Structure 1
Amino acid sequence: MKQIIQDLKNGDTLLEEVPVPRVKAGSVLIKTTRSLVSLGTERMLVEFGKANFIQKAKQQPDKVKMVLDKVKTDGLKPTVSAVLNKLNQPLPLGYCNVGEVVAVGKGVSEFSVGDRVASNGNHAEYVCVPKNLVAKIPDNVSDDEATFTVIGSIGLQGVRLLNPTFGETIVVVGLGLIGLVTAELLLANGCNVIGFDFDPEKVRIAKEKGITAINPAEGTDQVKFVESFTNGIGVDGVIITASNKSNEIISQSANMCRKRGRIVLVGVIGLDISRADFYEKEITFQVSCSYGPGRYDDEYEQKGNDYPIGYVRWTEKRNFEAILNAISKGTLDVKPLITESLLLEDYEKIYGDMANSRSIASILKYDNTKEQSKTVQIVEKDYKGKKGVIGIIGAGNFTSSTILPNLSKLKADIKYIASSGGLSGTIQAKKHGISNSTSDYKEILQDNDVDLVFVTTQHNMHATMVLEAIQANKSVFVEKPLALTHGELSNIEKAYGESNSCISVGFNRRFAPLAQKMKTLLGKAQTPINIVATMNAGYIPPEVWVHDMEVGGGRIIGEGCHFIDLCSYLADSKVVAVCMNAMGENPEENTDNASILLKYENGTNAVINYFSNGSKSYSKERVEVYSQERTLVMDNWRKLKTYGFKGGNMSSGQDKGHFNQFKALLDQQRNGGKPIIPFESLMNTTKASFAAIESLKQGKWITIE
């Protein structure tokens, strides 16, 4: 299928050929018939993509600080690689989609195949959208009209926040697409509406709709006009839908208001607010968030958990339905806003010169008569007779930033990369010369050429995909963790014992040059050692999926397992008991600020400090080892200092062992031999991470069987 994307690195807007996305649980797969180009929002994204590095940096000063902090801790080369990797991630354009449901995911009952729906899907021939971001289209609403659903909801949410009453006078600043819809909704609400815009055509359309529309370029002073129109009282409220960096708009808006007036910002403007403008009149100011309640809430959008209507009357989905109902009843007429209608293949006529476009609403039409595929061939290669042929499931940030660059250095044979949406996998396939991009990972499991599967999906999918790979007689590398529950781990253990497959987990730290140097210096004697390992992990907001125990497993199971494996490697022993304590009055809710005690079979004692409340300018990882009146201190995989040893100090560029691990894995897969990490060790590390959580719940040491 075809999809419009924005290349953030060079600024090109492209029509990319990608696999049809896989329908997910809680979502519907939609075959697109129309999509609306939101010129204001999309113009900003296109212009950002075309900006050079310095201009991009000026627009995102907070990101610049993060980059500088990373340079201090990780070094220049890893930082540059991380920045370039981010810029290499394509940005799908569009969020006003109309089409027909062609597949329904598990847990979706309110939609059926054949339903006409509007959603916030991208400009693509097929889109997979969560059910709470989809609404059915009334029979008397055309596909063209329905493309205004999402845009209309943005304006409607601004109106709801302003909470106008019948007869009030409201100003709309900026009569672009959202501004015109907003103004018409205010008229339908019984308000007197004044609109300001510098585009004569937009002013003309607004006047035809009954809006008192003014073009300030013709010499009208906006504040004085409002004073005259309201007999010196001022307007009851202002909704700002303009996009302008100037601070003048917010000042003028305040001066237009009556005492205790309200201002709602829907657009993007300069916000250097003067206290004096707001103080005397006690003016309220609020920023509107997109389509309405539920936006950016994973519980609502991704998991499909609706807000009870008795407590949240208007969610984003109910706003979608309200706009469609308004169009159906004729209280919102969007047809005059359509400037042009073009075929998807003619997208460049819209995106070629957006900066100078005078269009209000441009609609893309789709011809979806061709049969579409879930797999796209990128490069034709022959893999017959080869060993170590790889299929990668998952094309997220870790795959693009770490796995693929290292596999490329090793000249690995990669036949497939799978991503549920199809786009991210296709971009990486083109960049790294991978033969096929697919949205159906089962194609990898069914292909006899592939003998090694990489699983880099979200954590809750790891165990299932490992089992499927083993059952398909494939060896598998799974990015940590191996499993999230004892039940999943038991199933893997049983399947492994009945197969000839090899399982590897992404515990790369033991393969880092500095870790291997430490191991060499400590020697092979089974003398107990003391280990203090500190991970300055950094803060992740609580709503992010890694904190969800059912999806991410939490940060100890999901990431702290790295250091459990590293300690086991240095100790050359198995964990036999675990005790964990976390910070705060409710430690079970704060497992990303915890200390873990590990007791080893050979008497070794290890402490893992996993903290998220430290400074980002401090080293992320540090390991100290104490043994026989000697000490080793490793700092952030860049420096190793030895005390009591003869020599041994090392400095290098940051190397966390990924290249060495993948090299060892490919050598083992091609030439045979023992697994690169013993399966018993993988099991022990995973059980130890489970025991840490159990220890926190029970408040005692947990013994590992």
Structure 2
Amino acid sequence: MKQILQSLSSGITEIVEIPCPSVKSGHLLICTRSSLVSAGTERMLVEFAQANLLDKARQQPERVRLVLDKMRTDGVIPTLEAVQSKLDQPLPMGYANAGVVLDVGAGVEEFSVGDRIISNGSHAEVVCVPKNLCAKIPDPVTDEAAAFTVLGAIALQGIRLAQPTLGETFVVTGLGLIGLITVQLLQAQGCRVLGIDFDPKKLDLARKFGAQTVDLSRDEDPISAAASLSQGRGIDGVLITAATKSNEPVHQAAQMCRKRGRIVLVGVVGLELSRADFYEKELSFQVSCSYGPGRYDPAYEAEGQDYPLGFVRWTAQRNFEAVLDMLATGRLDVAPLISHRFPLEQAPAAYQLLNSSEPYLGIILEYPDPQQPNDLLNPTIQLEQEHTQTKAFPSESHTKAPIPHQPVLGFIGAGNYATRILIPAFKQTNATLKAVATTGGISGVYAGRKFGFGLATTDPDSLLNDPEINTLVIATRHDSHADYVCKALNAGKYVFVEKPLAIAPDQLDAIQSTYTSILNSGTSPLLMVGFNRRFAPQIQKIKALLANLKEAKAMIMTVNAGAIPPNHWTQDAAIGGGRIIGEACHFIDLLRFLADSPIVSVQTTSLGGVELREDKVSFTLSFADGSLGTVHYLANGHKSFPKERLEIFCAGRILQLDNFRKLKGYGFSGFNSMNLWRQDKGNTACAAAFINAIESGQAAPIPFEEFVEVTRVSFEIAEAARH
């Protein structure tokens, strides 16, 4: 299937062949018939993508500060690589889609195959969308009219916040698509409306919809026009649907309003507010959030939990339904708003139009009617390579058996960490990169083309069942790790799983049972967890320096973890496992490696009086040889401070490691320091050690019992931190 992607790095908008997404629980799989280009949002994305790096930085000063902090702690080169990696990842375009349901996921009862549906799906032949961001299209509404629903819901949500009543006067500043829809919806509410814009053609449309207008291109005065419309009383409310960096729209709105008038910002404008403007009239100002309540709430969107009607009358989905009702009855007319239509294959021309001098308004993308919709559902595609020197699995090799101990890799998962760190590390080994599997397909195609995979798929089971793939790298969401590990071991694969190994005791028990069963059958399974820090060059140096010191060690690990929102998936114990299990396991493993002795007890203390206790915690590990290791895992520090600092006290000597860049030794004969030009946390060496174990037929670089021990200790610490 085809999808429109935007490169934030090169600025190129292109149509890309990607695997069809797989339907997920609580989601709909939709075959697109029509979609609408958002002239405001998508134009800004294209303009940002086409800007040079300096202009990009000027547009996002808050991100520049984060980059500078990272440079100070991690070094210039890793920071620039991280920024470039972020910009390299393609962005799916579009959020106004109309189509037909091809399949429904588990738990979806409100929709059926064959239903005509609108959604916030992107510009793609097939989209997978949460059920609460979909609505059925009434029969009288055409597909291209229905494609305006999501933009209509944005307008409607702004109106709901403004709370207009019959007979009130309202101003709409900015008469783009959302502005002209806002004019019509306000008219339907029985309001008198004044539209303000620079474009005479848009102003003409607003007048046809019943509004009075102010033409800023002719220096007409909006303040006097507003006074005339309101009979000198002042405007009841202003909806700002413009896109400009200027602060003038808000200042102007305040001048127009009556005492205690309402101003709602739907668009994007400058927000340097004047206190005097708002103080004397006691004006209210509010920013409208997208389509309505539920938007950006993971429980509503991803998990399908609706808000009770009696408490939240108008959710995002119910706003969609209201707009569709307006379209069905003719009270909202979007036909005059369509200025251009492009077949999907000519989509790049549509985006060129956004940056041209040619006038435009509503741009509709038309999709070919598939003779057999199932033809779009192919979950696997052959990839064309961006880098010819990169090893890709030849297509004719599908009939050959794998060479013993020659690693042929399948990657399950291609998120930010996988594409920035993990896949490049494995690319440097002798392994062949055959296939990459992701749920949505876009990240898989990006990773596949960039790093030289032969195939991209949205069917992870195809990697498990492929006899040529003898090695699986699992880099998916944490809650899926254990299941994939068991499936991969049972399929006879070598397995590398990114941390954590598991997020619950029953998952870990299942892995142990599977591993032991295979071992008892006479086969030696090879399983490795991505505890990369023990492979870092400075950690290897520390290990060597400590080798001849027979006394117990006191180790202090300070982790400036940084804050993550409470609703982020990593904080969810059922999905991410929480930050102790999901990330702090790294430091448990590191201290276990340096102590070279089993953990015999744990003491945990959490910071009091905070919402999240688990990411502001100290725990001390006691080892069988008498060593102690304390980890301060704290999310309440500042980003400019090094993220990771390790200090070791032993036999009258001290070692201090800052952020895997600067290592200092105190009291060692012949060793003072080991400093690196760039941060090295051992990712490349970790991948190489795993691949070397496969090629040489040796055991895993980390003993199975050791990472099981580390995982169980992480469970104990997490449980103590939560109570």
> Does structure 1 conserve the Cα–Cα contact (< 8 Å) formed by 2:393 and 2:432?
no
- Which one-letter code corresponds to 2:613 in the other structure? N
1:663 partnered with 2:682: no
**Pairs within 5 Å for 1:93-492:** 93-355=93-355, 356-367=357-368, 368-369=370-371, 371-372=375-376, 373-379=378-384, 381-382=393-394, 384=400, 385-386=402-403, 387-492=406-511
- Structure 1 residue matching 2:363: 3-state secondary structure: strand
Provide the C-alpha distance between the structure 2 equivalents of 1:251 and 1:695, rounded to a whole number of angstroms. 53
Match of 1:681 among 706, 709, 717: 706
Q: Give the deviation of 1:488 after TM superposition.
A: 0.5
Structure 1 residues 586-622: Cα deviation after superposition (integer angstroms, max 9, x where no partner): 68x4100000111112222111110011111111101
**Pairs within 5 Å for 1:580-595:** 580-585=604-609, 589-595=612-618
**TM superposition score normalised by structure 2:** 0.95
Provide the C-alpha distance between the structure 2 equivalents of 1:524 and 1:363, rounded to a whole number of angstroms. 72
> Does structure 2 conserve the Cα–Cα contact (< 8 Å) formed by 1:194 and 1:213?
yes
1:25 partnered with 2:30: no
- Structure 1 residue matching 2:567: 3-state secondary structure: coil
- Which one-letter code corresponds to 1:381 in the other structure? F
Q: Give the deviation of 1:693 after TM superposition.
A: 2.1
Q: Assess, with a 3 A threshold, how the Cα gap between structure 1 residues 242 and 586 changes in structure 2: closer, same or farther.
A: closer
CA RMSD of aligned residues (A): 1.4
Q: Give the deviation of 1:230 after TM superposition.
A: 2.1
Structure 1 residues 417-443: Cα deviation after superposition (integer angstroms, max 9, x where no partner): 111110111011111111111111111
Give the length in aligned residue pairs: 697
> Does structure 2 conserve the Cα–Cα contact (< 8 Å) formed by 1:533 and 1:609?
yes
Structure 1 residues 416-471: Cα deviation after superposition (integer angstroms, max 9, x where no partner): 11111101110111111111111111111111111110111110011111111111
Match of 2:531 among 507, 511, 527: 507
Provide the C-alpha distance between the structure 1 equivalents of 2:54 and 2:569, rounded to a whole number of angstroms. 33
Provide the C-alpha distance between the structure 1 equivalents of 2:609 and 2:655, rounded to a whole number of angstroms. 35
Match of 1:550 among 574, 583, 586: 574
Corresponding residue number in structure 2 for 1:701: none
Provide the C-alpha distance between the structure 2 equivalents of 1:98 and 1:17, rounded to a whole number of angstroms. 20
> Does structure 2 conserve the Cα–Cα contact (< 8 Å) formed by 1:526 and 1:572?
no
> Does structure 2 conserve the Cα–Cα contact (< 8 Å) formed by 1:526 and 1:602?
no
1:531 partnered with 2:550: no
Q: Give the deviation of 1:697 after TM superposition.
A: 5.2
> Does structure 2 conserve the Cα–Cα contact (< 8 Å) formed by 1:579 and 1:696?
no
Corresponding residue number in structure 2 for 1:702: none
Provide the C-alpha distance between the structure 2 equivalents of 1:552 and 1:640, rounded to a whole number of angstroms. 32
Q: Give the deviation of 1:213 after TM superposition.
A: 2.5
Structure 1 residues 180-204: Cα deviation after superposition (integer angstroms, max 9, x where no partner): 1111000111101111122122112
> Does structure 1 conserve the Cα–Cα contact (< 8 Å) formed by 2:19 and 2:456?
yes
> Does structure 2 conserve the Cα–Cα contact (< 8 Å) formed by 1:32 and 1:97?
yes
Provide the C-alpha distance between the structure 2 equivalents of 1:535 and 1:277, rounded to a whole number of angstroms. 46
- Which one-letter code corresponds to 2:393 in the other structure? K
Q: Assess, with a 3 A threshold, how the Cα gap between structure 1 residues 161 and 635 changes in structure 2: closer, same or farther.
A: same
Identity %: 49
- Structure 2 residue matching 1:244: 3-state secondary structure: coil
Q: Give the deviation of 1:39 after TM superposition.
A: 0.8
- Which one-letter code corresponds to 1:598 in the other structure? L
Provide the C-alpha distance between the structure 2 equivalents of 1:261 and 1:137, rounded to a whole number of angstroms. 36
Q: Assess, with a 3 A threshold, how the Cα gap between structure 1 residues 559 and 142 changes in structure 2: closer, same or farther.
A: same
Q: Give the deviation of 1:645 after TM superposition.
A: 1.3
- Which one-letter code corresponds to 1:148 in the other structure? F
**TM superposition score normalised by structure 1:** 0.97
Q: Give the deviation of 1:348 after TM superposition.
A: 2.2
Q: Give the deviation of 1:4 after TM superposition.
A: 0.5
Q: Assess, with a 3 A threshold, how the Cα gap between structure 1 residues 317 and 196 changes in structure 2: closer, same or farther.
A: same
Provide the C-alpha distance between the structure 2 equivalents of 1:508 and 1:602, rounded to a whole number of angstroms. 24
Q: Assess, with a 3 A threshold, how the Cα gap between structure 1 residues 524 and 681 changes in structure 2: closer, same or farther.
A: farther
Provide the C-alpha distance between the structure 1 equivalents of 2:25 and 2:607, rounded to a whole number of angstroms. 36
Provide the C-alpha distance between the structure 2 equivalents of 1:233 and 1:436, rounded to a whole number of angstroms. 67
Match of 1:630 among 649, 653, 659: 653
**Which has the higher mean CA deviation after the structures are superposed, 9-18 or 410-419?**
410-419
Q: Give the deviation of 1:671 after TM superposition.
A: 1.7
- Which one-letter code corresponds to 1:603 in the other structure? G
- Structure 1 residue matching 2:40: 3-state secondary structure: helix
- Which one-letter code corresponds to 2:83 in the other structure? V
Structure 1 residues 67-92: Cα deviation after superposition (integer angstroms, max 9, x where no partner): 11111000111101101000001111
Provide the C-alpha distance between the structure 1 equivalents of 2:464 and 2:670, rounded to a whole number of angstroms. 49
Provide the C-alpha distance between the structure 1 equivalents of 2:431 and 2:167, rounded to a whole number of angstroms. 70
Q: Give the deviation of 1:219 after TM superposition.
A: 3.4
Structure 1 residues 478-535: Cα deviation after superposition (integer angstroms, max 9, x where no partner): 1100001111001100111122321111100000001111111111666421111111
Corresponding residue number in structure 2 for 1:639: 662
Corresponding residue number in structure 2 for 1:703: none
Provide the C-alpha distance between the structure 2 equivalents of 1:126 and 1:524, rounded to a whole number of angstroms. 62
**Which has the higher mean CA deviation after the structures are superposed, 461-470 or 524-533?**
524-533
